[in-house]
Amino acid sequence: MLSVVVPLATAAAGLTYATAYEVRAFTLREVTVPVLPKGSAPLRVLHLSDTHMTPGQHKKQQWLRSLASLEPDLVINTGDNLAHLDAVPSVLAAYGDLLDLPGAFVFGSNDYFSPKLKNPARYLLPTTGASEKHLRRTKDLPFEELRAAFTQRGWTDLTNRHASLEVAGHRLSFVGVDDPHLGYDQLDDEPADTSADLAIGVAHAPYLRVLDRWNSLGYPLIMAGHTHGGQLCLPFFGALVTNCDLDRKRAKGLHTHQVVGHDPSWLHVSAGLGTSPFTPVRFACRPEATLLTLTEIDSPGSR
């Protein structure tokens, strides 16, 4: 009897921890990325992703508002802001003063489509992107309202487009795509702007076709979200899945990506801040935002 009770009690304790504590244990990660030209002053970039906001998530909103005290130079938002039809005001209130800073954004599938109840075991299965059933759904979330609010506050929309920004004395060049998980990405062959201090690629989902293209075009830094860091991780093993074709070892954090014959790009994948309302659980993978300090290439390496 004991052989049955102990595993069940352990599983119950783990589920309680994951749903009652860790899913709200918001964490600020910090990394240093040596990617700017020699002699450049550091640049502080706040990476937000996968907020999956609902109006009642007051603790998450309060924590997000507190991030303005970090005084980053730039905010990069890699999508999946919404998880409710009425969440736009909550998102805007949560981002608060961050919207007054230079920023750039792309959308993810959960900015377009409201969450649906699914078999949670499906999350553990391999995926190549949106199914035909998903693609036939009507976009029912107020993404255009969110887009208008972001752009009116000064954030730059990178949905399948290029842009440039002057940030804290640095000229930054960007390329962005609509969500690759939905197949909405429109990749082009325009090389990275080598006259800029830094060229950055921004996507919601870090599919290899996007990473390969941007690395081959010379983008030194690529930023993405979508994976939730695996959401369910095991100690000493890490993420079980990434919900795309990126390998598990790069489900979150700072890594590199390299196509043969090209210099490596830095790749930062955010584990994100939220979950689907129907699977409000995280284990060994706390919800996070990340403050990246970009430094000159010859400075000490990342941490």
Determine, yes or no, domain membership for 260. Answer: yes
pLDDT at res. 133: 52
Determine, yes or no, domain membership for 43. Answer: yes
* Model confidence at 283: pLDDT above 90: yes
- In angstroms, the Cα distances linking 125 to 122, 179, 230, 263, 295 are 5, 20, 12, 33, 38
pLDDT at res. 132: 46
176-214 pLDDT, tens digit per residue, is 999 999 999 999 999 999 999 999 999 999 999 999 999
Determine, yes or no, domain membership for 216. Answer: yes
Q: Please state, for a pLDDT cut of 90, what percent of the chain lies above it.
A: 83
Q: Domain span at residue 202? A: 2-296
pLDDT at res. 17: 64
128 pLDDT tier (thresholds 50, 70, 90): low
100 pLDDT tier (thresholds 50, 70, 90): very high
Residues 134 and 113: beta-carbon distance below 8 Å = yes
Determine, yes or no, domain membership for 303. Answer: no
Return the SS3 of 296. strand
pLDDT at res. 117: 83
pLDDT at res. 124: 59
Determine, yes or no, domain membership for 227. Answer: yes
Q: What is the mean pLDDT of residues 12-22?
A: 61
* Model confidence at 1: pLDDT above 60: no
50-71 pLDDT, tens digit per residue, is 999 999 999 999 999 999 999 9
Q: What is the mean pLDDT of residues 141-157?
A: 98
29 pLDDT tier (thresholds 50, 70, 90): very high
Determine, yes or no, domain membership for 302. Answer: no
CATH at residue 19: 3.60.21.10
Task: Please provide the average confidence, as pLDDT, over all residues in the chain.
Answer: 91
123 pLDDT tier (thresholds 50, 70, 90): low
* Model confidence at 125: pLDDT above 60: yes
pLDDT at res. 300: 59
Determine, yes or no, domain membership for 301. Answer: no
209-264 pLDDT, tens digit per residue, is 999 999 999 999 999 999 999 999 999 899 999 999 999 999 999 999 999 999 99
Tally Cβ neighbours within 10 Å of residue 68: 17
Buried b (16+ CB within 10 A) or exposed e, 100-138: ebbbbbbbbbbbbbbbeeeeeeebeeeeebbeeeeeeee
Which of 130, 128, 127 lies closest to 139 in space, CA to CA?
130
pLDDT at res. 144: 98
How many independent structural domains does the chain possess?
1
